[in-house]
Amino acid sequence: MQGNPDPKPKLLRAARDIDPRTLYRAIGADKVAWNIVKKTDKGKTEIGIVPYPAGRETGVVLKSWYCTTGAAVVKAKIGLTQAQRQWRGAMLVNNAGIATSLPMAMWLVKQPGKGQVVVAAFRLLPGEDLMNVLARSELSSKAARAAGRLTAKLCLAGLFNRDHKPSNIILTDEGKMGLIDTVGIRRAKCRCRFTGGKMPGKRLVPRMLASLVTEPLGLGLLPRRTQLLRGLLSFASACGMKKEEVKTAWKQVEILVREHGDATPVDNPLKSG
């Protein structure tokens, strides 16, 4: 999202510790460029990063969702948007003790020539997303195990991530795993056990595990089988699974990956701008 933002945006939501006017001036009225670093949802969502002049923050992540219809504007005003879902998801993830990009404030902004846009500011979570780690080098055993534990932590907290792919997982500067896109987070009964050779529940847990595999597979960057197994064993250990359940889980993940078909991502996570 380039250019100078609306001087009079409509505030939709703000965190308790944030002065939205000061924040908006810092990232908008002070004419800091809202440079796009990534587009997702077939170009419907834009993501940019700006510095935060006050020095309290390492940076601010800005996400903009374009309201292309009157109905979309109404939904934005009553909180039925992806932006609001990401806000709620981030709070659920944070409450589960998982690092995430915490929400700061959200506005409905008039953008010349583009209509109204929902703009949300999130605290930058310093680190590198797991997909870029895979593109740069072979996945380490430590990272593979950490990804398994992260998935288990979500399950044990009663959370399901519909978009649990490596490009949404951050290997933080502190060496921990965190989540940066929480639009797909929701409460669910995620049964971690794989007894009887059947898919548990609505296959929520296997779907999350399969998502970790599908994206790198589609980009030709699938980690070695041994690393995938280390990740699954770490997940199993955290969930208290038995040995025979691990074998069942592996088979069920393989089934879901095959059922997915073409694994090529709609939005290439390795492409910027």
Instruction: Report how many domains make up the chain.
Output: 2
Residues 98 and 138 in one domain: no
pLDDT tens digit sequence for 138-191: 889 999 999 999 999 999 999 999 999 999 999 988 888 999 999 999 998 777
Computed on alpha carbons and rounded to an integer, the radius of gyration of the chain in Å comes to 19
Task: Indicate the pTM of the whole model.
Answer: 0.87
pLDDT tens digit sequence for 202-250: 578 889 999 999 999 999 999 999 999 999 999 999 998 888 889 989 9
Q: Which amino acid is at 26?
A: A
Nearest CA to 69 out of 138, 10, 117 is that of 117
Q: In the numeric block, which tokens belong to residue 181?
A: 């896109």
Residues 226 and 256 in one domain: yes
Residue 265: inside a domain: no
The number of residues making up the chain comes to 273
DSSP string, 41-74: GGGTEEEEEE--TTSS-S-EEEEEEEE-SHHHHH
Cα dihedral: 197, 221, 96, 45 (round 10): -120
Helix 141-156 vs helix 225-239: crossing angle, to nearest 10: 40
Q: At which of 74, 108, 123 does a domain end?
A: 123
Residue 40: inside a domain: yes
> What are the helix (H) ranges across 61-161?
70-78, 82-95, 130-136, 141-156
Residues 102 and 169 in one domain: no
Residues 65 and 16 in one domain: yes
Residue 165: inside a domain: yes
Residues 156 and 179 in one domain: yes
Q: At which of 123, 157, 189 does a domain end?
A: 123
Residues 81 and 174 in one domain: no
Check residue 54 and give its pLDDT: 58
Q: At which of 123, 138, 173 does a domain end?
A: 123
Residues 119 and 95 in one domain: yes
Strand arrangement of the beta sheet that strand 177-179 belongs to: 99-100, 177-179, 169-172, 127-129
Give the structural domain span for 73: 10-123
Domain at 31, CATH number: 3.30.200
